Copies of this chain bind each other. A is one copy, B any other.
Amino acid sequence: MPRKPTLAQVAALAGVSKMTASRALRDAGDVSASARDKVQAAAQTLGYVGDRVATALSAKTTNLIGVVVPSLSNIVFAQVLAGISDGIADSGLQPVFGITGYDSDTEAALLRDMLSWRPAGLIVTGLDQPDATRALLRQAGVPVVQIMDIDGDPVDGCVGISHDAAGADMARALLAAGRRRIGYVGAHLAHDTRAAKRLAGFRAALADAGTALVASRLTGAPSSVASGRDLTATLLSHHPDLDCIYYSNDDMAIGGLFHCQSAGLDVPGQLMIAGFNGLDLVESLPVGIATTVTPRHEIGRRAAQMIAAAAPAVSLARVSLTPRIVLPGQTPRNRPLGGTRS
Spell out A's residues near B (CB within 8 Å). 1, 4, 47, 49-54, 56-57, 62, 72-73, 75, 78-79, 81-82, 85, 94, 96-97, 99, 112-113, 115-118, 139, 141, 224-226, 228-229, 254-255, 258-259, 261-262, 280-281, 283-286, 313
Contact = CB atoms under 8 A, between A and B. Distances in A.
23 contacts: A1-B141, A49-B115, A49-B116, A53-B56, A53-B62, A53-B118, A57-B57, A72-B75, A72-B81, A73-B82, A75-B75, A81-B99, A85-B99, A96-B96, A96-B97, A97-B97, A224-B280, A225-B280, A228-B284, A255-B284, A258-B284, A258-B285, A261-B286
A99 B202 CA distance: 37
Nearest to A261: B286
A261 B258 CA distance: 12
Contacts of A118: 51, 53
B73 A79 contact: yes
Nearest to A135: B47
Contacts of A72: 72, 75, 78, 81-82
B286 A117 contact: no
A139 B47 CA distance: 10
A82 B106 CA distance: 14
Contact of A73 (B78, B228, B258): B78
Contacts of A261: 261, 286
Contact of A113 (B94, B139, B226): B94
Contact of A284 (B85, B226, B286): B226
Contact of A53 (B49, B112, B117, B254): B117
Contacts of A54: 57
A53 to B, nearest CB: 5
A313 B281 contact: no
Contacts of A47: 139
A54 B59 CA distance: 12
B97 A313 contact: no
A286 B262 contact: yes
Nearest 6 interchain pairs by C-beta: A72-B78, A261-B286, A262-B286, A52-B116, A225-B284, A97-B97
